[in-house]
Structure 1
């Protein structure tokens, strides 16, 4: 007999299996649920089928084991709620979104079960006892069938008679076990009517929450890898993990929105810069760009006959012109962002500064530069040092990106420790002309000895230091002027306020 209530085919089951293999959270959901109730894997498959399949076909009650009858209550309530239709508009035939909705809805319903608001602990034990009765009945049927087979194979009348008596006794025991199972199943089904009443509003409420979460996070999860600098789409399982974190973390959702806006701003600025960029001539080509024509072509305009030929070749794009190539800066050193994580940066300042950091990560990937972030606070707090794009083609590493996004140490402010760590990185790189971006909202004194040594190393290594002072409330440039090449002050935490930073790179 079956342990799920919605009809599925091999493709549906394989799709869910692929997602489960790639998603630790989906695995944990099945494992956690299976500790509370039997056949929870079948219920997860039902959720996926409800969200993924174009046509939903339920199994007849007689085809499903009685110990899975509780899940029918949840499945029926989900099928009859209008929220499911809206949810399915986003998930039908989309494995990743259906998997994310399955994970979110499964976790919410599992929390309801754990809280004993729709099912008591005693009722959970009853389902385990029911499954045990089913297993025992199945074992007895197998034993009776084995006895029947042996009876037909023996040549001894005495043995045949003994096996027949054994089979008869087993069949009578099976009949008794079936009656007890049917009676117990009937009692459980009657009890489930009360469970259905208790759970009706709660199940619909959880589905509504998942709908809202999916609308907020599915698109962000799908495009996060591109927006935050990986430059490539993550695997479906990784998108499930990210979607779960986005759904449960409002700060991450705000950060993703801010990074998206900043990335658009940075790309627009870079496009304008490339349009104005110096270029070099490297060959002769054909075209119709008047500003790049060879002098010999311009001379043709003075001759009446050649002028007509010039017009023809202009229309055909066959005039001789210089081909230009933008001057590229190669061999640039790493881009290092020192990010203030002190208590005063909490809230919008943290979101804005991390959005700037992750947008610079995207710029570094495009420039094929290594990128390191150093999050700092008090002198006694350890630095969070992350190399975010060590992969091939300088693609960012999503786990490290999320680690940066979610980390916030709090505490005071110390400038010397992160800048010394940035120096160590630049000393060990093979390229000169690295850059340090120092983002802070505070003031901190540095010792004259440290400042002298820092300036000496800065001149030797040939890097630039660009400081960003988030100027909300009373603050002064103070120490930043002593070691920075340029300082930008920010008073409005918007994507437009970051233009000066992105123009630098």
Structure 2
């Protein structure tokens, strides 16, 4: 949780809001505000420039997250600038495109809120910010005067009620403990006080109206008189600010979505950790030098691996449907979809969604036995630097996705002259952080094929990973001894192991050694995503 956050109630946020944001969405935003430091930091930065910025952030979150947000028709003068800016922005095609990326998506909505708020703060002219301060001060005075007027009117109404009661008592003779003269005197005194209170209330109301008029004038100075050329010019100006902010936000959200897609991540995986940590992880993924160069190809390869894995699963047994709970609206039961679109049922349905308790349809396949693990031996030696390493990482992550979708154990061995790193993920339980760790792992020394191959076979023997598929990714620049080769081939046959070598022949490479121990050798040169399916995945 971020430190030193000023507590805000839902009502404090909802009252100045210019959208139809409800209490449920406000509560969701408050929870994000408590865990995403960038939000309260933006409040501190924005409030001196655009008063009421806390509520503006809520409006932005609602506009991006909620399926059908609307801007209010009537708002106080000090909120009219923000109402106009946001309303004009939401009326553009740029908003519709951005909203398509963010609707009901937590990470995209939060990052979009932050991005758009930062851009708006940058683009709003300084003269507007100064006039907004004036308008806000005028509105605060008008609010204070209205409160005083309401209090004065309440006092006048109370005194009038007391006067009416006293006069009735004096007229009816029902005044215990008082003479008729005393009762009448008391009624006259109250009448005078009520008359004065009524005059005071009238005066307070006039002051309140004058203050409200000054707030309207201040807003009009900022936005222009309705129908005037100044108003039309300001409308165009605010529309431009909104469109620029949306375009930057769309680019940011698209970048985030592309990173999620390229790395084959699922929203459910990311939602298992706090948003700041998830966003930090995605930022590391986005900035990864190797994957930035190879992202497009990686995304295509992983999509084909995903399709192939799902096709294999689909054809390997009877499908069983069962009910589970979660937040994946695409798999929500029909009754839940109906509830989400019903004004009476939407709040509890969204509550279930927020808590991961939405009723989902789950289809599972009774898979046939015989699927072994996928073990990747990745050559990280110095000769693999550059494009070869990029290919190695892309293939490794694609195979991790493939194993994960099939719930097959995935093992990864990074080697150079020795085994540098080795990890095993039972049942394909590879998290986004695991994938990033694999990509960022480097070696860079000499090359020894025997050590990683021994390590792979040891995994097969000690962890019961029989019928394994070992994918050996290298440029082939190494030799193995005759004694090792004889021993290895015997173990390979005994354990029913399949070895597919991916030869990264972007520059120098040789298949002479790997042919001796591989079931098949495929060259990476000229690989397309489609060829990856035929040349690698078909063997698994």
- Give me the TM-score of the superposition, normalised by structure 1: 0.58
Give the one of 527, 534, 538 matched to 1:499. Answer: 534
Give the superposition deviation at 1:34.
1.5
1:490 and 2:535 matched: no
Q: d(CA) in 2 for partners of 1:264 and 1:370?
A: 19
CA distance, structure 1, for counterparts of residue 63 and residue 313 of structure 2: 46
CA distance in 1, matches of 2:240, 2:367: 63
1:476 maps to 510
Structure 1 residue 469, shift from structure 2 partner: 1.0
Using a 3 Å threshold, how does the CA distance of structure 1 residues 205 and 128 change in structure 2: closer, same or farther?
Answer: closer
Contact 1:73–1:196 under 8 Å retained in 2: yes
Alignment of 1:41-440 (within 5 A): 41-50=54-63, 57-61=70-74, 63-64=75-76, 66=78, 68-85=79-96, 90=100, 94-96=103-105, 102-103=109-110, 105-113=112-120, 116-120=122-126, 124=129, 127=132, 185-189=219-223, 200-201=239-240, 203-208=242-247, 235=271, 252=295, 254-265=297-308, 328-329=369-370, 335-338=375-378, 340=380, 346=386, 352-365=391-404, 368-374=407-413, 389=425, 394-404=428-438, 407-408=439-440, 412=444, 414-416=446-448, 419=452, 422=455, 426=459, 429-433=462-466, 436-440=470-474
The answer to whether the 8 A contact 1:140-1:170 is kept is: yes
The answer (yes or no) to whether the contact 2:416–2:446 under 8 Å persists in 1 is: yes
Tell me if 1:14 matches 2:24.
yes
What SS does structure 2 have at the residue aligned with 1:467?
A: strand
Q: Distance in 2 between matches of 1:424 and 1:170?
A: 89
Distance 1:179 1:24, change over 3 A: closer
Following TM superposition, by how much is the alpha carbon of 1:260 offset from its aligned partner in structure 2, in angstroms? 0.8
Deviation at 1:476? 1.4
Q: Residue in 1 aligned with 2:181?
A: none
How far residue 439 of structure 1 moved from its aligned partner, in angstroms, is 1.5
* Native 8 Å contact 2:416 2:443 kept in 1: yes
> Structure 1, residues 175-209: CA drift from partner, whole Å, max 9, x if none?
89767766655554469988765564454245356
Alpha-carbon distance between aligned partners in 2 of 1:442 and 1:196, rounded to the nearest angstrom: 65
Q: Distance in 2 between matches of 1:15 and 1:421?
A: 56
Instruction: Return the offset for 1:355.
Output: 4.4
Relative to structure 1, is the Cα distance of residues 369 and 263 closer, same or farther in structure 2, using a 3 angstrom cutoff?
closer
Q: What is the alpha-carbon distance in structure 2 between the residues aligned to residue 205 and residue 247 of structure 1?
A: 26
Provide the rounded CA distance (Å) in 2 between the counterparts of 1:132 and 1:334.
Answer: 67
Structure 1 residue runs of 5 or longer lacking an equivalent are 276-324
Shift of 1:371: 1.8
Shift of 1:37: 1.9
Change (3 A) 1:270 1:82: closer
Q: 1:74 to 1:103 in 2, by over 3 A?
A: farther
Instruction: Output one character per residue of 1:250-290: Cα deviation in whole Å (capped at 9) or x when no partner.
Output: 65455333211233345667889x79xxxxxxxxxxxxxxx
Is residue 35 from structure 1 mapped to residue 75 from structure 2 by the alignment? no
**Aligned-partner Cα distance in 1 for 2:429–2:55:** 38
Separation (CA, whole Å) in 1 of partners of 2:210 and 2:305 = 71
**C-alpha contact (below 8 Å) 2:46/2:53 kept by paired residues:** yes
Contact kept in structure 1, 2:503 and 2:522, CA below 8 Å: yes
Distance (whole Å) between structure 1 residues aligned to residue 373 and residue 417 of structure 2: 28
Q: Distance in 2 between matches of 1:343 and 1:129?
A: 66
SS at match of 1:468: strand
For structure 2, which runs of at least 5 residues remain unmatched after alignment? 1-13, 163-188, 225-229, 318-365
- Superposed CA RMSD: 6.1
Q: TM-score, normalised on structure 2?
A: 0.55
Count residues with an aligned counterpart: 424
Partner residue of 1:467 out of 479, 482, 501? 501
What's the offset of the Cα at 1:496? 2.0
SS across alignment from 1:95? coil
- In structure 2, how many angstroms separate the alpha carbons of the residues matched to 1:17 and 1:339? 50
**SS of residue paired to 2:471:** strand
Change beyond 3 A, Cα 1:260–1:172: same
